[in-house]
Every structure is written in structure tokens, then in C-alpha cells.
Amino acid sequence: MLQSLGKGEGRASEELLPLVYEELRRHAAVRMAQESAAQTLQPTALVHEAWLRVVGKGGQKWLNRAHFFGAASEAMRRILIENARRRSRLKRGGDAVRVDIDQLDLAETGPEEKILLIDEAIERLQALDPEKARVVVMKFFGGHTNQEVAESLGVNERTVERHWAYAKAWLFQNIRSQS
């Protein structure tokens, strides 16, 4: 089914939808659970958008589910970054498109800024070590479990754990050293 999706058949896309939708929702739910009990969410909007973006490409060839998840996480990342930029821009008013790092003190950054900083740091990591960067994207933006990431990247869980722990420290260091 995933394969026929690659051929751009709209119908297959619909059939696939419930299957994968559930998966996408689940990730949002995992994050929700990590939050304090006071927070209740509507994850569907996010998931909906992510799905449309991922499937709408049509030309992309999906090899398997794991492959799809990697892409979905990437899509989610883009959506979130867009939202973060938009909000940040609105908060600051005017035309500032990129966050001006020099003017930020890490301790006082708002949520949007944090996300943007992380995203930029990930891009830097990506240039150096794409595999570790993919782990970060899948875990952080996609909310995947270690097992799922392992499946997607074709490594074992232990490796994923290692990458994640290291990458977090690396990114944090990187962000701090920029300001």
C-alpha cells in the first residue's frame, strides 16, 4: 500500500490515511503525556497538516513504514518551525525573519525562540553527522520511540539511545556557544 502511494495514486493515499493517521496522532499523544496533567491538547490539526504535506508530494517513493516515519517527522519539523517563526515574528512585530541570536539570552528565550535555535543547531549537526541529526528530528519533532527510530534508520535501539543522548548535549553546547 505504501508503495502504491509512491505512484501518486490519490486513492491509495486515502486508504493509507487511517493507518498512518493513527501513528501520527500517537506521537502527539506521547508528547501530551509528557506534559503536566493540566494541559489538554488538540493534536489533530498538527497531524492533519503533517499528513497532507507528506502525502501531497506524490512523487516521493515510500519504501516502507519506517521510511515514511522519517519523512513524517521531517514534515512535522517544518510545520512547527514555520509556526514558531510566524509567532516569533508577530511577537516582535515587523519584518524580522530570522531570529537575531546575538540579542538573545538563552535563559530568557520564549518557546518559539527555543525551537528556532534548536532547529538551526540541528542544521549544523546535519552538516557534520546526518545520522545523529535524523535521530534528533525523529525523537524531538516526531515524538517517536527509540524502537521506531531504530527501525527507520536501520540501526539497533542502543545506537539510537547513544545518538540521542550525545546529540542533545552537542546541540545544547552548540546553542550556548553561539550566544
Partner 1 sequence: MNTDSTNREEELFDAARRMTESGARRAFLESECGGDGRLRGRVEALLSSSDEADRFFAESTSALIAIELAGERTRGGTPMLPRDWAEGIGTRIDRYKLVQKVGEGGCGVVYLAEQEEPVRRRVALKIIRLGMESHSVIARFEAERQALAMMDHPNIARVFDAGETERGSPYFVMEYVQGVKITSYCDQHRLPIRQRLDLFIQICHAIQHAHQKGIVHGDIKPSNIIVSLHDGIPIPKVIDFGISKATEGRFSDATASWAGLPLVGTPAYMSPEQMEMGGLDVDTRSDIYSLGVLLYELLTGRTPFDAQQLLKEGVEAMRSRLYELDAVRPSLCAHELDPQELGRVAQVRGCRGSRLIALLRGDLDGIVLKALEKDRRRRYETANGFALDVQRHLVNEPVMARPSRWGYRLQKLVRRNRGVFAAGGAVAVALIMGTGVSTWLFLKEREARQRAVAAEQQQTRLRQEAEKREQVTQAALLVSQERFAEADRLLDGLSLTDATLEGAAVFRALGEWHALNERWREAADRFGILLRVNQLDGADVTSLDYLERGPALIELGDVAAYERFRQEAIIRFADGSPHFAERVVKISLLTPANDRLLEDLEPYGRVAREAYMEAASSGQAFEAAWRAMSLGLLAYRTGNYSDAVSWCERCLSSPDFNAPRMAAAQAILAMAQARLGRESAAGMALEAAREMMESRTRGRRDRGTPVQGFWFDWAFARILLREGEQQIEELAPRS
**Which parts of 109-138 interact with partner 1 (CB under 8 A)?**
110-112, 114-115, 118, 128-132
φ, ψ of residue 144 to 5 degrees: the values are -80, 160
How many residues in total does the chain contain?
Answer: 179
**Which parts of 60-99 interact with partner 1 (CB under 8 A)?**
79-80, 83-84, 86-87, 90-91, 93
The three grid cell numbers given for residue 92, joined into one nine-digit string: 516582535
Secondary structure in 3-state letters for 79-104: HHHHHHHHHHHHHHCCCCCCCCHHHC
Are the C-beta atoms of 54 and 72 separated by less than 8 Å?
yes
**Which parts of 140-159 interact with partner 1 (CB under 8 A)?**
140-141, 145
Place of cell 552538516: 127
For residue 94, the tally of other CB atoms under 10 A from its CB is 7
Q: How far apart are CA 13 and CA 51, in angstroms?
A: 10
Q: Does 42 bind partner 1 (CB under 8 A)?
A: yes
Decide whether 42 or 59 has the Cβ nearer to partner 1: 42
Selected range binding partner 1 among 7-15, 20-28, 61-69, 97-105, rule: CB under 8 A: 20-28
Residues that bind partner 1 (CB under 8 A): 17-18, 21-22, 25-26, 28-35, 37-46, 48-49, 79-80, 83-84, 86-87, 90-91, 93, 110-112, 114-115, 118, 128-132, 140-141, 145, 162-163, 165-166, 168-173, 176
